Structure 1
Amino acid sequence: MDLRTLRLFVEIAKQGSFADAAKTVFTTQSTVSKAIKNLEAELGVRLVERSGRAKGLTQAGQLLYQRAVNVLGEMSSLEAELAQMQGLQRGSLRIGFPKMGTSAFYAGLFAKYRQRYPDIDVHISVEPLPRLEDQLREGDIDLAALLTPESGDFEWQHVRTESLVAMVPKAFVSAGATRITLQALARWPFMLFQDGTTLNEAILQACAQRGVQAHVDLVSTGQIDFVTELVASQLGVSLLPRVLTQWRQHPGVKYLEVQELQDIWQFTLAWRRGAHLSYPARAWLALAQEHFQPTAAAQPA
């Protein structure tokens, strides 16, 4: 019996279900279920009722819960005392951001983190999305700001859902325009980020589902300002999450809602499945939930 399993068990008792407990501790429901089954096998008793009307803890489970809360409380106090002896929270956090500009989205969170944890060293890596995923797998970074990962290699915490906004030259549309369809947008070349593979796939899939044929020009740079200037020069149109356009309002560009691209961009913070999350990493995830409330929620991969 280890402390991590005890924490999982206590969360099940508090949350009332394996699924809600898994969200609270940033892991998967299957991981929680397996851990509790192993704990029951180790102790030789059933701890959780899983069927019938009698949902919740068994009598043995209630006894373990009472003792586990005391044990975890004592451990929390011990850790706090040891941290105080060492000069409060120390350590390092290695976090990666994609090249396509989403690092600016986390700037406010980064500033708040440095203020709250001044003794934690933060090392930032800025890479294309595929490289960030490789770095997570290899253990070179602790956390990465990704779109919702499709790989089973990762677990993640949802940060925010965004709609995509079309950047269109002002000369291409009427002054009062606020929205546009994919079909209308496809009259001009789509200038998409070469590093934005996941985003590009989502856009092109939406086009295919609606029978829209889009001409795509890939832009090798990840600099949003550069692409914005290309749009202002009437070389084509581009698409960005709404939050990233709020800081970059160009006088020669019109920013339009795309009716078919609502709520398809998922900001997440990901880590390697099964990896031990250090105190600095857990502190970043907890602060992200606080910073981006009310939309942030932990989700398993």
Structure 2
Amino acid sequence: MELRQLRVFMEVAKYKSMTKAAESLHISQPALSKSIMTLEEELGMKLLIRTNKTSDVTDAGKVVLEYAQKMNVLMDEMSTTLNDMTNLKRGQINIGLPPIIGSLFFPKVMAKFHHAYPNVELNITEYGGARVVKSVEEGEFELGVAVMPIDEQEFQVYPIVEEEMKLLVYKDHPLADRKLVDLKDLKEEEFIFYHEEFALNKIMKKHCIAAGFEPKILFKSSQWDLMTEMVAANLGVTILPDSICNRAANSDIKIINLQQEIMWSLAVITKKERYISNAGRTFLDFILKDPL
């Protein structure tokens, strides 16, 4: 068994398609099929169920995939460690960011870091907060930015931002003239929420339930600007961090403080006991020295 075979199998499992995997790896489909068949013969088990359209992973394939991913992470860590030893001025950082955080805070940070360390490559991937946490845990990213609270037994947590959440309503909404609104007064409102993969979805559901009601969710989105435009069109209400509210410059929207103090806290996270590259540690020190 070779690592190359396992990486081919991981790519097929990722795309659930021999054709797409072959395109991604820049190899011919017959060569890819032969690699998978050889791996199956060596293991004595079927790893994929092939149909005309998809290639689904079998139960045995799921076990192989799990170990292959772990081995791939270890190989990446070995390469990173060796790179640090031989060329400390160069590096690469894989960072996971929720889109809301990337668009609000990180362009300036990345620009400053690039000017200070032009030979360090920043690979940014945007996922919802919950998926960022999972991806850091699984080794896809060495650094991630996530919404608190975070399991501090599993991760090293470095707080960087804390903001208050505020209510956004249409200008002619019955609550628009209020300076302060209790969350329980929103029981009959229709909400515009983030999708489930975003931490804000879970945070706001939790607070609504604590106030005595299950929120009526009319729309879900992954884009804060679309959410604020929906409020401006009188399609519902939403609750967003203060920095987003400050960007919602629309005369059709009223921004109101909540009686309950609901905080939006961000942190950089790393998986405990995982090796962090010299470039990764440098970026972490850089952002902690000058918090967002």
When the two structures are superposed, what TM-score results if normalisation uses the length of structure 2? Answer: 0.64
Shift of residue 159, structure 1, vs aligned partner:
0.8
Secondary structure of 1:172's aligned partner: coil
Q: Distance in 1 between matches of 2:285 and 2:121?
A: 17
Secondary structure of 1:229's aligned partner: helix
Q: 1:113 to 1:195 in 2, by over 3 A?
A: farther
Q: Which residue of 2 aligns with 1:201?
A: 202
Q: Distance in 2 between matches of 1:134 and 1:159?
A: 20
Higher mean C-alpha deviation, range 281-290 or range 162-171? 281-290
Contact 1:195 1:222 in 2 (8 A): no
Q: 1:225 to 1:197 in 2, by over 3 A?
A: closer
Shift of residue 176, structure 1, vs aligned partner:
5.0
Q: Which residue of 2 aligns with 1:274?
A: 273
The count of corresponding residues between Structure 1 and Structure 2 is 207
Q: Which residue of 1 aligns with 2:17?
A: none
Contact 2:165 2:242 in 1 (8 A): yes
Letter in 2 for 1:187: E
Shift of residue 175, structure 1, vs aligned partner:
6.2
Superposition RMSD in Å: 2.5
Indicate yes or no: 2:129 matched with 1:129.
yes
Secondary structure of 1:284's aligned partner: helix
Stretches of structure 2 lacking an aligned partner (at least 5 in a row)? 1-83
Q: Distance in 2 between matches of 1:181 and 1:217?
A: 20
Q: Which residue of 2 aligns with 1:150?
A: 151
Q: What are the Cα deviations for residues 59-95 of structure 1, in whole angstroms up to 9, with x where unaligned?
A: xxxxxxxxxxxxxxxxxxxxxxxx9x95x72111110
Letter in 1 for 2:208: C
Q: Distance in 1 between matches of 2:239 and 2:162?
A: 15
Shift of residue 197, structure 1, vs aligned partner:
4.5
Shift of residue 118, structure 1, vs aligned partner:
1.0
Contact 1:192 1:200 in 2 (8 A): yes
Q: Distance in 2 between matches of 1:144 and 1:175?
A: 37
Indicate yes or no: 2:141 matched with 1:141.
yes
Contact 2:95 2:122 in 1 (8 A): yes
Letter in 2 for 1:120: V
When the two structures are superposed, what TM-score results if normalisation uses the length of structure 1? Answer: 0.62
Q: Which residue of 1 aligns with 2:242?
A: 242
Q: Distance in 2 between matches of 1:291 and 1:267?
A: 14
Secondary structure of 2:283's aligned partner: helix
Contact 1:165 1:257 in 2 (8 A): yes
